[in-house]
Amino acid sequence: MVHSRIAVTGSTGLIGTALVRSLRADGHEVVRLVRHPARAGDEVEWDPKRGYVDGAGLVGCDAVVHLAGAGVGDHRWTEEYKREIRDSRVLGTAAIAETVASLGVPPKVLLCGSAIGYYGDTGDRAVDESAPHGTGFLPSVCVDWEAAAAPAEAAGIRTVYARTGLVVAREGGAWGRLFPLFRAGLGGRLGSGRQYWSFIALHDHIAALRHLLDTESLSGPVNLTGPGPVTNAEVTAAMGRVLHRPTLLSVPAPALRIALGDFAEDVLGSQRVLPARLLDSGFTFAFPGIDGAIRAALH
């Protein structure tokens, strides 16, 4: 992409922070959507719960990257927090999609965050973007989340859904919690350890988002996961190898259910998700293996 004006929601999150840094390093102009009156030249106000976006701030944008949403692993899943997870995604996406669709000259692409939670528990079965959605809370959220972008698609804007896996990073997400535990020698497998984790290095995730922005032939769902999902037991062994720590402990499933509530079922669930469309479009992973992804996160 030539030097462009790109709007980003969720710019203070793990992925948003890294994406903004990457875009600006390459000379792109980034405007950040913030939930307070704009105080800086690069800020645009929005309020996802009210469905408000200052559309004037998006005029001249070539792309909009929508990453905002309440953290899935940040709180115990009460009914109230589950509502927050859903509303933050569905209402926010609807507000962004309706606003970009209403612009006289809309952006060429709307890149929306989504998640491999779409597929539900796939067990040992490998799935790609052609697979149907699963059943349960997270699949239903992902279906509604992606559907909320319909106004942008209807307006002829290339709309891409980045179905993200587990991002290997020190700074946040699931791995941000794992690193301190394993460093302290307290890491171990969760439940049976046989469940598949579809991971992606943060470096590759940002490169993949940039690839989605630049690849005009891509629209619809694209899985942002590494090419080789591994089991939780294999993740545990790799963390021990890279960090040179014992990994003898394990957390039984009942203890996870007490600690995490409904979210435990997703930690214990298996998602063996393949990035078929990413690979078919010519994307190359810098850190395709789990050991390399962990090392990249440390350095």
Q: How confident is the model at residue 9 (pLDDT cuts 50, 70, 90)?
A: very high
Pairing type for strands 126-127 and 109-115 reads: unpaired
CB atoms within 10 A of CB 36: 9
- Please give the structure tokens belonging to residue 114: 């989504």
List pLDDT tens digits, range 85-94: 999 999 999 9
Quick check: 290 pLDDT over 80?
A: yes
Model confidence pLDDT, tens digit, residues 189-229: 988 999 999 999 999 999 999 999 999 999 999 999 999 99
pLDDT of residue 70: 83
- What is the residue type of 148? A
Confidence at residue 201, expressed as pLDDT on a 0 to 100 scale: 98
**Helices (H), ranges, 103-201:** 137-147, 150-154, 173-183
Q: Are 102 and 156 in contact (CB under 8 A)?
A: no
- Of 176, 149, 72, give the one whose Cα is nearest residue 116: 72
Task: Kindly report the number of other CB atoms within 10 A of residue 144's CB atom.
Answer: 14
Per-residue pLDDT at 1 = 57
pLDDT at 139: 96
pLDDT tens sequence across 248-282 = 888 888 877 776 677 677 778 899 999 999 999 99
- What element of type H or E holds 32? strand 29-34
